[in-house]
Amino acid sequence: MQKQWFPSIGQSLLNLQPGWLATPWWPGDTLRVKQRSLIRILALAHREHLDPQPLIKNLAKGHRGRYRRRLNRLYRRIASGTPILKALEQVPNAISDHDLLALQLGMNTGSLTTTYDRLIQSYGTRADHDSDNRKNTQIYFASLSVIFLLGISFIITFIVPVMAQMNKEFNLADDNLSNTLFTILVDWVGGFLPFGFLIVVIVALLTWIPIPHRLSKAARARVSLSYSAITQSQILDLFAWTIQSGNSTDTLLESLSQLHFDRRTRRKLELANSKLQSDTDIWSSLADCGLLNRQEAESLNQLEHADTRSWCLREFAEQKRRSSYRNKKIRSRILHPAITLFFALITLIVAAAMLSFLTELVQALATVV
């Protein structure tokens, strides 16, 4: 019946690929989850000696927007003959900087399979403290800003002139509360509107555009103690893996001083590597450069067994991650109410101005009657 009455339409519907049905219309996962899915795909291809190109191409079909474009760009780089790690380096944020660094070190030491396994294991056993509270706060601030800027612009443009004219017609006092509040609204908030729009645009750029991601991350690293703690925990994890594998920590330090993605941390690692060449033990040299504290360095020097030292390094790394997560949570709990109170103050001024004007208008009409 379908082919008899609707031959062309029916055939096209029968041949329609249903892949779009499995693709979300909006991003459902965080960037970190998407990056981890790519790591699992690459680990499978490496372990089973599979061609990663069709796997990456099919993975891209399961995403939309920015991350799909990254995966397609990665697919094209690999299809052109670029090695996988070089292609990942040329496509920022396809995987995290720390994971890329770990894979590069694994390639240099010939333990790439073990590195994949440890990265995937860390995803399942370690608490994920990388929740993007900062981005959620930016979206919340930008949304409220747009709503309030539009509302205040409408009130200043259309409502305030009408109320000023009514003040003149009913001979209301010029120094009443409503006039004072409307003056504050027009002079202060109205004068802030162009800067408000500019701030909203900047926040939107920092939230959605991927170009300044590394620059903004480097800027945060200069003022953020939590970012430094996360970087230290990642380095300690790498040392723990190296000791557990039986590889040389001196070689790891030299490779880190050349490959680490953060410029400030790389300089510290270069200084630690130079101190290590002058017969200083590795833990003291890391402590001299601020990547460990003195107590941690002394504890590591007192340990003799490699397994115990590796466990101690993992515990130090986990403590730093927990401290960083706690600091982020405290800042988020302070910043979110502060933003709400800021907009609540503007709402209070507008509401008080409106109510006081209505009260004064009723009193003037009562006097006339």
pLDDT of residue 63: 84
Task: Provide Rg for the chain, Cα atoms.
Answer: 30
Each residue's pLDDT expressed in tens, for the chain with a length of 369 residues: 444 444 444 444 444 444 444 555 555 677 888 899 999 999 999 999 999 999 999 999 888 888 899 999 999 999 999 999 999 999 988 998 999 999 999 998 888 999 999 998 887 654 454 455 667 777 788 788 788 878 887 887 888 788 878 877 777 766 677 777 777 777 766 666 667 667 767 766 665 555 434 444 444 444 444 458 888 888 999 999 999 888 888 889 989 988 888 888 888 898 888 888 776 788 988 888 888 888 988 989 888 888 899 999 999 998 988 888 888 888 888 888 888 898 898 888 888 888 888 887 888 777 765
pLDDT for the residue 9: 44
Alpha-helical (H) ranges within 24-132 are 31-48, 52-61, 66-79, 84-90, 97-109, 112-125
How many angstroms from the chain centroid is the CA of residue 335? Answer: 16
Compute the distance between CA of residue 141 and CA of residue 135 in angstroms, rounded to an integer: 10
For residue 68, which of 103, 37, 102, 99 has the smallest C-alpha distance? 37
Report pLDDT for 16. 45
Burial of 259 (0-12, 13-18, 19+ CB in 10 A): middle
Q: Could you say which DSSP state residue 22 is in?
A: G
**Residue 42, pLDDT score:** 94
Residues 6+ apart with CB under 8 A from 92: 210, 213, 214
Of 283, 246, 233, give the one whose Cα is nearest residue 102. 233
How far apart are alpha carbons 331 and 323 in whole angstroms? 12
Give the pLDDT confidence score for residue 206 in this predicted structure.
64
Q: Find where tokens 């409106």 sit.
A: 354
What is the reported pLDDT for 245?
85
Q: What are phi and psi for residue 128, nearest 5 degrees?
A: -85, 105
